Structure 1
Amino acid sequence: MSAEDAQQENEVSSSFEVGETVRGTVYKIEDKFVKAHIDDSDFEGIVPISQLTSKRIERPEEIVSEDDSIEGVVIKVEDEEDRKNVILSIRKLEESNAYDSLQSAKNSDETITGTVMEVVKAGLVIDVGVRGFIPASLLSDAYIEDLEQFDGQELEVKVEDIEPDKNRVILNRKRIVEAEKAVERKKQLETLEVGSIVEGEVVRITTFGAFINLGEVDGLAHISELSYSRVEKVEDAVNIGDKVNVKILDVDPEQERISLSLKQAQESPFDGFIKAHSEGDVLEGTVKRLVDFGAFVEVTPGVEGLVHVSEISHEHVAVPSDVLKEGQSVQVKILSLNEDSEKISLSIKETTEPAPRSENNEPKVYRDDSDDEGPTLGDVFGDRFKDLDI
């Protein structure tokens, strides 16, 4: 090889460009930097402590040891006669590789793992090769008041947005939580049995009923299914946070809808009533509702019977409200009990005696007892018919 060729080869082997990736071996560790022999070169590689890692460290030994093989990107070249140094950054190379990996994870919607480095008011700073950020709104599907509980934890996340030129990585944990809950909801919906009785918690109240959480799914108990007694407002029957037993009336896995009943999870008060009473019994009751055809009287909590308008009084009653008021206490007699339809026929008038009839109240009948015959048409009209052609 000629001297000129050797010189050219030496220049190639000892020249580096900013942005180039090189490898080397650590031979010295100082407080503020690390020195390494650059492979196939006369140059030394110097890695300042700030360029060793994106993590916060106090000493280089936390990251590297002597004789470690390292790889970094050239950020500066010092090529002087007595000094041949290349300033390297392991951190920038790791960040570049991390951004490539994060972009790939975003494109494929891959789940990655990171460690929470810092808790701030707006969310979490998390290490995913570079500093990423999870806004509090993307941390879960529900509001989380105490973010400190996540400090130092490893979390599974999705890459929501990435801008390497701005060192910006937005992460999302909420989508993972939602997906996991969707799987659990599906499992529970498949295991719920119509007719079974389960425990739940009242989590939401509306004008038409109460939503009850059964674990991973919520079901609706319509206002008509809250109690055997008449319920005017849902809040009169249940409150948010109440633990209740409910009967599953229907399950629609496709729509994720569950119909529930609180009252059917309990013994029907009608069953107890029919065991304790028979036709002919006289009871004390309370008028609950007045309708055109009669009055509904509660004879025990949750059990109402109908007093037909014809059974209110011995006297004629045109409209029940003429003689009864809601909330009024009345005595009633059981006329019939229908176990299958859970209907009770009652009578108020059967508990009272009819008023005695007085002679003055006798209807008057007018009779003509005379023997005289009444006048005929001829007597009345005389000869007026004679000219008629009939």
Structure 2
Amino acid sequence: MLKKERFAPALENMTINPLVEADFLSLMEEKTSDTLQGRVVKGKVIRKDKNFVVVDANLKNEGIIPLSEFELGESAGHPELGDEVDVFVEESENYYGHTVLSREKAVREEAWGPLEQAFNEKRVVKGKIFGRIKGGLAVDIAGVVAFLPGSQIDTKPLKDLSHLLQEEQHFHILKMDKKLENIVVSRRSVIESLKSKAKDKLLSEIKVGMVLDGVVKNITDYGAFIDLNSTDGLVHITDIAWSRIHHPSEVLQIGETIKVMVIGFDPVAKRISLGIKQLDNTPWKEIQEEFAVGKIVTGRITNLEDYGLFVELKNKIDGLVHVSQISWSDKNNVNIKNQFSIGQEVKCKVIGIDQNKYRVSLSIKQCLEKPWQKFIDEHPVGSVVTGIIKSISNFGIFVTLTEDLVGLIHEYDISWQNDGKGLLSQFKKGEKIQCRVIEVNPDKERFRLGIKQMSLELYNGFIEKNPVGSVIECLVENKDDKGGVLVKADHTILVVVDKNEHNAAKIAKISVGEIVKAKVETIDDAKKRVELSLL
């Protein structure tokens, strides 16, 4: 059988057509150029003029790059002839047969990775603002052009931006899109973050009495807000000057740098109260020496407010008469502007001096006779009085006794046998009513009255049968909001058992309608009141 042999041409005897070889090399070069498209390669500057450089990157053709593209990034600077530079191959050969190279995109490619990492980690990046564009500013960040919107430049509107140009700034990256070659940054968020940290530091260190530098940020009718760099504080109009002023703008101007003293701090609300007049306490020392607490003074009214009136004490230094210190009656319902006028002289009593806030508290009513003193003298506990029903609440009846004096009939003091809450609807505002004085407390300005104490038959029968020390049965009628309990003692009269140390645990265990045992502890015959303790 014949053996089949492979055909093996003798290469040494073969010749390659030069034209075929040239076509092959051209094909390989074209293939290599296509492979490099979209990548960063090394190139050499072979020509340079005023605005452009020509770079040879070993591709089919040289590329022309504007010199402006070499002005971005940390290695910014125009290259010289013969310099090797990194360039991005946009197109190895475009429609016109040109090679398109970019220095800007090469820098972008190099910087994109670190910037993306900073974006993901929410880290601050550095950059320089180099120009204005529609809607904001252009920023060079490591050679990458980013967009800074106008709303993200600062925490407040800036009229002049020239001081920001070509100066290194710090930014947060808000958005990145490599496909669109888009980066949006914020300088404002960096400022807010730094202010937040500085604010926390200031609030942790702040103390009453500290003197700080600040800038007047805003002025209102009631005071001025001061920018303390990381947070704001308020100087109330009364703490701007020792003398009375009608508006803060008489003394302060927006943008003015001033010194202020911390006179109050609320750590929960993070509210800082500031003072300017407190920096010079010479007038205050004179006030302290001359106007001691308890002293009666006469002064001229300098200002009227809904919350009180200001009285000049000395050298245009004022004290405040709060609305509650004007009249013994209607403490908070005084129409100040109808009763008083600026320039009017009034007699006041010094009732308080605030050492920290440099404030003097005055009282007009404490210069007047207490209206209930005469009433107490003429109507001791146990007396019968007649009054007019002023108002009815869900817990009792308020009775006008004199022009300046109002007493309370609690719901428990309406009837010996029935829960008074259900009887309140039987009474009408303006109705004349007769009742008995059962308690007077001048310090708390409290006058307790009773209707059931007018009829003593049931009460007298109870105390005759059940003297102090007696143990009796009681029917639980009701429990009140304060933890006390209303019982019908010996099934005869209603008595309130207070929630005291002895009764608290027992009250918690009993229910309405239950029969319980109790001991008669005291009997106050003047007030017609019985006190029980649960057993």
Shorter-chain TM band: 0.5 to 0.7
**Residues 240-295 of structure 1, C-alpha deviations (whole Å, 9 max, x = no match):** 4555553323335675431223454442746414645899x9998425589xxxx9
Kindly indicate whether residue 43 of structure 2 is the aligned counterpart of residue 36 of structure 1: no
Q: 1:214 maps to what in 2?
A: 228
Which moved further from structure 2: 166-175 or 337-346?
337-346
Q: Which amino acid in structure 1 is aligned with residue 84 of structure 2? A: D
Residue 114 of structure 1 corresponds to 127
Kindly indicate whether the alpha-carbon contact (under 8 Å) linking 2:173 and 2:183 is maintained by their aligned counterparts in 1. yes
| Among candidates 77, 99, 111, match of residue 87 of structure 1 | 99
SS of residue matched to 2:69: coil
Q: Could you report, residue by residue, the CA deviation over 1:334-388 in whole angstroms, capped at 9, with x for unpaired residues?
A: 9x8778686779999xxxxxxxxxxxxxxxxxxxxxxxxxxxxxxxxxxxxxxxx
1:110-133 CA deviation, whole Å, 9 max, x = no partner? 322233332347432222323322
Assess, with a 3 A threshold, how the Cα gap between structure 1 residues 222 and 277 changes in structure 2: closer, same or farther: closer
3-state DSSP class of the match of 1:62?
coil
TM-score by structure 2 length? 0.46
Q: 1:296-335, aligned counterparts within 5 Å?
A: 298-300=312-314, 301-303=316-318, 326-328=342-344
CA contact (8 A) 1:45 1:88 kept: no
Corresponding position of 2:44: 26
1:95 offset after TM fit, Å?
Answer: 3.5
TM-aligned CA distance change 1:22 to 1:118, over 3 Å: closer
Return the offset for 1:107.
2.6
The answer (yes or no) to whether the contact 1:20–1:73 under 8 Å persists in 2 is yes
Task: Report the counterpart of residue 367 of structure 1 in structure 2.
Answer: none
Bigger relative contact order, structure 1 or 2 (CA pairs below 8 A, ≥6 apart): 1
What is the alpha-carbon distance in structure 1 between the residues aligned to residue 211 and residue 224 of structure 2?
17
Residues 172, 215 of structure 1: alpha-carbon distance in 2 compared, 3 angstrom cutoff: closer
1:163, distance to aligned residue in structure 2 (A)? 3.6
Aligned counterparts of 1:70 and 1:308: Cα–Cα separation in 2: 85
Counterpart position of 1:145: 159
| 2:169 pairs with 1:194 | no
Q: 1:30 to 1:255 in 2, by over 3 A?
A: same
State the shift of 1:12 in Å. 4.5
**Shift in CA distance, 286/168, structure 1 to aligned 2, threshold 3 Å:** same
Q: Which runs of 5+ in 2 are unaligned?
A: 1-9, 328-335, 355-359, 368-535
SS where residue 32 of structure 2 aligns?
Answer: coil
1:371-386 alignment, distance < 5 Å: none
How far apart are 1:325 and its partner, in Å?
Answer: 5.9
Give distance in 2, aligned partners of 1:62 and 1:305.
Answer: 73
Equivalent residue for 1:183, pick from 197, 209, 213: 197
Residues 242 and 88 (structure 1), Cα distance of their counterparts in 2 relative to 1, 3 Å cut: closer
Mapping for residues 260-299 of structure 1, pairs under 5 Å: 260-267=274-281, 269=283, 271-273=285-287, 275=289, 285-287=299-301, 298-299=312-313
Q: Residues 282-332 of structure 1, C-alpha deviation per residue, up to 9 Å, x if partnerless? A: 998425589xxxx986342224599999xxxxxxxxxx99998652458x8
Q: Report the AA paired with residue 127 of structure 1.
A: D
User: Structure 2 CA distance, aligned partners of 1:30 and 1:263?
Assistant: 69
Which residue of 134, 137, 140 corresponds with 1:127?
140
Distance 1:161 1:235, change over 3 A: same
Q: Is the 8 A contact 1:157 1:176 kept in 2?
A: yes
Q: Are 1:74 and 1:86, in contact at CA under 8 Å, matched by a contact in 2?
A: no
- Match of 1:204? 218
Structure 2 CA distance for partners of 1:143 and 1:325, relative to 1, 3 Å = closer
Partner of 1:54: 69
The answer on whether the counterparts of 1:228 and 1:303 sit within 8 Å (CA) in structure 2 is yes
Q: 1:245 to 1:89 in 2, by over 3 A?
A: closer
The 3 A distance-change label for structure 1 pair 20 and 103 is same
Q: Which residue of structure 1 aligns with residue 488 of structure 2?
A: none
CA distance in 1, matches of 2:86, 2:312: 87
Do the aligned partners of residues 234 and 65 (structure 1) sit closer, same or farther apart at CA in structure 2, a change above 3 Å counting? same
Share of identical aligned residues, percent?
22
d(CA) in 1 for partners of 2:45, 2:239: 79
Report if the CA contact (8 A) 1:194-1:251 is conserved: yes
Which residue, 175, 178, 183 being the options, matches 1:161? 175
What residue ranges of structure 1 are gaps of 5+ in the alignment?
A: 79-84, 310-319, 349-390
Structure 2 residue aligned with 1:73: 89
Separation of aligned partners in 1, 2:179 and 2:353? 76
1:69-124 Cα shifts (integer Å, max 9, x gaps): 6454261249xxxxxx9825143443444445544433332322233332347432
Report the more deviating stretch, 199-208 or 153-162. Answer: 199-208
SS at match of 2:154: coil
Task: Give the Cα separation in 2 of the matches to 1:27 and 1:207.
Answer: 69
Q: Following the alignment from structure 2 to structure 1, what is the Cα–Cα distance between the partners of residues 135 and 179?
A: 23
Aligned residue number for residue 383 of structure 1: none
User: Is the alpha carbon distance of 1:343 and 1:134 closer, same or farther for their aligned partners in structure 2, counting shifts above 3 Å?
Assistant: closer
Taking a change above 3 Å as real, the CA distance of residues 180 and 260 of structure 1, as seen in their structure-2 partners, is same
- The corresponding residue for 2:533 is none
Is contact 1:269–1:303 with CA below 8 Å preserved after alignment?
Answer: no
CA contact (8 A) 1:156 1:173 kept: yes
Checking the alignment, whether the CA contact within 8 Å between 1:209 and 1:222 is kept in structure 2 is yes
C-alpha change, 1:46 and 1:193, in structure 2 (3 Å) is: same
Letter matched to residue 178 of structure 1: E
Find the aligned partners of 2:339 and 2:252 in 1 and give their Cα distance.
35
Amino acid at match of 1:160: L
Task: Please give the alpha-carbon distance, in whole angstroms, between the structure 2 residues aligned to 1:27 and 1:305.
Answer: 83
Aligned-partner residue type, residue 181 of structure 1: K
Separation in 1, partners of 2:303, 2:41: 91
Work out which of the residue numbers 106, 118, 125 in structure 2 matches 1:105. 118
